[in-house]
Amino acid sequence: MSAEIFLIAPTDQPIEQLVAALNVTLDRDEVAALLLPRGKLAENAYKELAKRIVPLAQAKGAAVLIEGEPGLVRLVGADGLHVPGGIKAVEEAIAALKPRMIVGAGDIHSRDDAMLKGEAGVDYILFGPLSGSISAPEREMAQWWAETMEIPSVLSDPEAGPASYDAGDCEFIGLPLTVAEPTK
């Protein structure tokens, strides 16, 4: 089984550079999903970014997941919501968006946490960070989940890079969108 690409966009880049990098990546690679984390963006800046990125990625066949409130998913036309919070936030997102939209969970701290969020009805569980490197226990948890559970797993290790990335049995590989530095 080959893992599908779950692209994670950096939101700390100028929007035009992000759009350019996304166009290049989506033309080159088959991307199943794009996660647009909110990061440190203010609400209006995040909405503006999402309104630019969502239709671009969707036109190239990628489902787009955002962070924030369920109402924002509809406002920007995204395909679903990535919930980094606790079980209450996951349950609220599921109640508001399912079955028509995707709800995924991240910020997993234990097998029990993963199972609780999985039992709530999420569409995927993301193991590992959105930036930085994954810990050995997170990697082991992702592998255990992929071998044991039916809900798809995303293994995210942004510092590994695509050439050295091994997703094991996980259904998705969380890769960072690489944005080139502007030429001077």
Cα separation of 43 and 41, whole Å? 6
Give pLDDT, residue 168. 79
Give pLDDT, residue 133. 87
Fold of 4-176: TIM Barrel (3.20.20)
Angle formed by the axes of helices 15-28 and 43-59, nearest 10°: 20
Which positions of the chain have pLDDT values less than 50?
Answer: none
Domain ranges of the chain: 4-176
Cβ-based burial of 153 (10 A; exposed 0-12, middle 13-18, buried ≥19): buried
pTM of the model: 0.93
Give pLDDT, residue 161. 59
Give pLDDT, residue 165. 61
3-state helix, strand and coil shares in percent for the chain, rounded to the nearest 5: 40, 20, 40
DSSP for 54-83, written as a single string: HHHHHHTT-EEEE-S-HHHHHHHT-SEEEE
- Cα dihedral 118→121→122→126 (10° resolution): 0
